[in-house]
Amino acid sequence: MFRRFVELELVRVRGCPQAGMLADKVYERLEGALRRKVAFITDSTVTHMVAQAVAADNPFAAAIPGLLTNQDRERGLASVRQQVESGALKLPEPLVERLELQLGYVTDAFLEALARLEENQDAICNALLDGRRFQVIEDVGLSAGDTHNRGRSVTIFHTDAGTLVYKPHDLRAEGRLREFARAC
């Protein structure tokens, strides 16, 4: 039911200039992270929709969705999915907007990290990989910490030359403070 939201973001990544250096495993990890974000955002809305779909058979669940049985949940979810896919039931616009915005943030942050890795590849490889230059990002660890500032979080890149931890934080201010402290 929410596949199109995830697919649109994956298309964006497949179309980025750095896509050639991404192994299939990276796309799998990114898809998983996007799906988890969808589940987090949609959980209460979908639960309510499922409860309403089974209300005739389980009126208590309609009033208190926590009373949904596993069978109710499966049957109601299938009904909601079919209705949404057929166009008979529309997803609430605020939910659609939030999904698009939040998934876009995750993708934007990932694309930003890729662009920075590529822009600074020589310096990164010299400083962190003993000069070994990576060609392929084999795997990625996403959401390795809290997300801040539009979906940015620590990302771990496993490359063919070694592992890199990307921390989306501008360290120039800390560098200046360190220089100031040394000068004092």
Q: Please state, in angstroms and rounded to a whole number, the distance separating the CA atoms of residues 46 and 23.
A: 33
Query: Which residues neighbour 106 within 8 Å (Cβ) at sequence distance 6 or greater?
Result: 9, 33, 34, 37, 142, 151
Chain-wide mean pLDDT for the chain?
89
Q: Which two tokens stand for residue 178?
A: 């360190």
Q: Which of 40, 37, 36, 74 is nearest to 54 (CA)?
A: 74
Q: Please state, in angstroms and rounded to a whole number, the distance separating the CA atoms of residues 1 and 139.
A: 27
Residue-wise pLDDT for 89-122, tens only, equals: 888 899 999 999 999 999 999 999 999 999 999 9
Residue-wise pLDDT for 24-53, tens only, equals: 999 999 999 999 999 999 998 889 899 999
Q: Which two tokens stand for residue 73?
A: 């949940």
- Confidence (pTM): 0.80
What is the number of alpha carbons within 13 Å of residue 159 lying toward its C-beta?
22
Q: CA-CA distances (angstroms) from residue 10 to 14, 118, 136?
A: 6, 19, 18
Determine which of 56-70, 98-112, 160-174 has the lowest per-residue pLDDT on average.
160-174
Q: Which residue has the tokens 């896919």?
A: 85
Q: CA-CA distances (angstroms) from residue 170 to 73, 106, 110, 124, 148?
A: 45, 18, 16, 15, 13
Does the structure show a pLDDT above 60 at 83? yes
Confidence (pLDDT) at 151: 62
Q: Please state, in angstroms and rounded to a whole number, the distance separating the CA atoms of residues 168 and 143.
A: 11
Query: Which residues neighbour 112 within 8 Å (Cβ) at sequence distance 6 or greater?
Result: 152, 168
Confidence (pLDDT) at 182: 87
The answer to whether residues 13 and 142 touch, using CB atoms and an 8 Å cutoff, is no
- Domain map of the chain by residue range? 3-183
Does the structure show a pLDDT above 80 at 143? no
Q: Please state, in angstroms and rounded to a whole number, the distance separating the CA atoms of residues 46 and 81.
A: 10
